[in-house]
Chain A
Amino acid sequence: MEKILYLTQVEPGGELSSFALEVLSGAGRLARDLGCELAVGLVGAKADVQAAADSVAGCGAAAFLAVTGDEFAVSRHATDAAAFEALARNAEATIVLAPGTSRAARAMPGVAERLNGRIDSHITGTAITDGRPEVERWFYRQRMMGRLTRSQRPWLWLVDSGVFDAWEGEAGGATLEALDVPLPELRTRVVGVESPAAEEQTIRPDAELLFVAGAGWTKKQADGSTHVKEAETIIHDFLETTGASLGSSKSLVDQAGEGQEVISFMSHMNQVGQTGSTPRHPKGLATCCHGEEPHVVGWRFIKERRAVNLDPGCGWAQGKADVLYVADAFEVMRRVNELLKQG
């Protein structure tokens, strides 16, 4: 009989992110489908963890386990791994599900090793066949999809966002069982989080739209000159009025290292694709991107896709976008901005 443990860190203030709630509903569903027990394991500051447990008191968990303390509240491998390991051991879990946050993604591989278990990450779907759990994940950076199962336990799952609907249900009073976990040696001090200033923050994971800029924005245009400053203004205005998240092709962000004039608010963090990110948004608009394969894998989880490119032979024309507008992105986006401002 399997025993399922759902694990997550708690945000300051006692909140569970919507991503965390999605994976909780996936864990609950798995436990129900397998007819086995679910435990919840939370890590964070004491008051925050109690509030979080109360907020999901109605999730059907047989136990709420916690590792609390100020040192466990911060994102650091040594403490996160110690906390997750203790929770998994205490719950005697055979399958552990955690949202694939940066924090869990860093800590869980080491935990798998300590537990002599196995781990799969970037899980995008789950199934049960003949009573046997299976997971779906992509291989070769979003280029092929595999479904697999494992005989070893414990089996740790890092689940991607957007796979399950967020858990919704009754809050209440959860009885927390706090585990006493000795602090490991602390050789790393967490300084803090560095965010770009709000107006420069162009990566917005919750945005409805992903706007992807390609190297065409900085290339010579029909008049024989480049117009990088104008491109910058157009893109900036569009992001401001729509609240879209900004993505980039590799070529465009690489130009910074090549000493070319670049779009100032863009960095490698914006890059989507094979060596960039694979964000999830309901819509995506690609402009001045050629749409080659390493770029296209960055679009795997974008539902509706449109593109503006001068070249009808652009990679998007080959069945990857829903609409390809063969046009000058400067002209089109300038007008788009005007129309958006008119309301």
Chain B
Amino acid sequence: MSSGYHIVVCGSLVPDPLQVLEPVEGPDGPALENEMMIPAVLDPWAAHALYEAAHLAARTEGSRVWLVSIGPRARLQQLMMSIAQKVPFELVAADGPASGFTDARETAAALADLIESIDGLDRSRALIFGGRSSASRDAGVTMGMVGERLGVTDQFLAVDKLTVEDDGRLQIMERIEGGRYLVSVCQGPPLVCAWSTGELPEPPNNPQVGMQNMRTIMPALQKAKPVQLDAEGLSYVTVEIPKGKRDTRIERNMGAEDIAREIVEWVRG
């Protein structure tokens, strides 16, 4: 019997969090000013999912990891330059928008189609990973819809830990309200795990891994089919940066005693 997990990680690019973003009205609805020029990173929670996937695959013989990404082809190529050396994966890509203003359901449909097209993916061994929400749309609904389209109804959201038990069952810890965890045990794959931070730091760059990944990345980018995400039926009335800059009182010369008194009064008030 074949063993190991077939881990599919859904994740794409988002603007580098340190960039200043300005919304503009584009031909197809809202967009970001200079969107194609803004330095991008792999969506942070999806990146955690990728590191967790690679870590699990490395410990479970026969496993494979695919990264499924929808984004403008040229930008995906740039993104790959920054993540290819992190962990081993095979890229599956489609050429389409990575904007926060696309509709989650259309994105989910396109992702599910891409996953279904993966050659060699054994769906009975599949762990469908992604981030708990993106740093662009920040909806937290895409993975649930991807799972549903693939017929996977064991789903977990905001996962920090996945442990393989001795009998092959999977224990999952999801973040819930009030700083607590919900602990569940699933019989095994297939399941959907939308990750929070997980437990692993960002791996250092490894040039060998990069070289190995590049063998699948370049053909995958060349093959990337265009996908149309029209946000049909969705209309934006306004998109704006909230004004409301605060008039900060800066106290440079106040003694610690006075500051402490003021803070205590404010806390109690």
- In the complex, which residues of chain A have a beta carbon less than 8 angstroms from the beta carbon of B148? 81, 109-110, 113-114
Whether a CB of chain B sits under 8 angstroms from the CB of A102 is: yes
In the complex where A118-B103, A119-B141 touch, is A321 in contact with B246 (Cβ < 8 A)? yes
- In the complex, which residues of chain B have a beta carbon less than 8 angstroms from the beta carbon of A271? 197
CB nearest neighbor in A for B246: A319
- In the complex, which residues of chain A have a beta carbon less than 8 angstroms from the beta carbon of B187? 187-188
Whether a CB of chain A sits under 8 angstroms from the CB of B36 is: no
- In the complex, which residues of chain A have a beta carbon less than 8 angstroms from the beta carbon of B257? 335
Whether a CB of chain A sits under 8 angstroms from the CB of B212 is: no
CB nearest neighbor in A for B99: A139
Give the segment of B4-12, B16-24, B60-68, B69-77 that binds chain A. Answer: B16-24
B239 near A108 (CB under 8 angstroms)? no
Give Cα distance in the complex from A162 to B146, angstroms: 30
Give the A interface residue count (CB, 8 A): 100
In the complex where A141-B138, A321-B246, A324-B249 touch, is A184 in contact with B153 (Cβ < 8 A)? yes
- In the complex, which residues of chain A have a beta carbon less than 8 angstroms from the beta carbon of B85? none
A108 near B141 (CB under 8 angstroms)? yes
Determine the main DSSP class of B at the interface with A. mixed
B264 near A140 (CB under 8 angstroms)? no
Whether a CB of chain A sits under 8 angstroms from the CB of B37 is: no
Give the B interface residue count (CB, 8 A): 89
Whether a CB of chain A sits under 8 angstroms from the CB of B248 is: yes
B185 near A191 (CB under 8 angstroms)? yes
Proximity bits, B21-60, A CB within 8 Å = 1, else 0: 1010000001010000000000011000000000000000
Proximity bits, A193-233, B CB within 8 Å = 1, else 0: 11110000111110001000000000000000000000000
Near A by CB (< 8 A), chain B positions 207-231 give none
B144 near A275 (CB under 8 angstroms)? no
A204 near B182 (CB under 8 angstroms)? no
B101 near A317 (CB under 8 angstroms)? no
Proximity bits, A136-161, B CB within 8 Å = 1, else 0: 00111111111111111000001000
Near B by CB (< 8 A), chain A positions 158-189 give 158, 184-185, 187-189
Give Cα distance in the complex from A139 to B102, angstroms: 11
CB nearest neighbor in B for A147: B237
Near A by CB (< 8 A), chain B positions 189-208 give 196-197, 199-201
CB nearest neighbor in A for B194: A106
B145 near A113 (CB under 8 angstroms)? yes
A336 near B17 (CB under 8 angstroms)? no
Whether a CB of chain B sits under 8 angstroms from the CB of A316 is: yes
Give Cα distance in the complex from A294 to B101, angstroms: 20
Give Cα distance in the complex from A78 to B20, angstroms: 40
**Chain B residues with a Cβ under 8 A of chain A:** 14-15, 17-18, 20-21, 23, 30, 32, 44-45, 100-101, 103-105, 108, 135-145, 147-149, 153-158, 160, 171, 173-188, 196-197, 199-201, 232-242, 245-252, 254, 256-257, 259-261, 263-264, 266-267
Known: A308-B263, A339-B264. 10 other contacts (CB 8 A): A107-B144, A119-B105, A145-B239, A187-B187, A188-B185, A195-B179, A202-B179, A244-B267, A325-B254, A338-B260
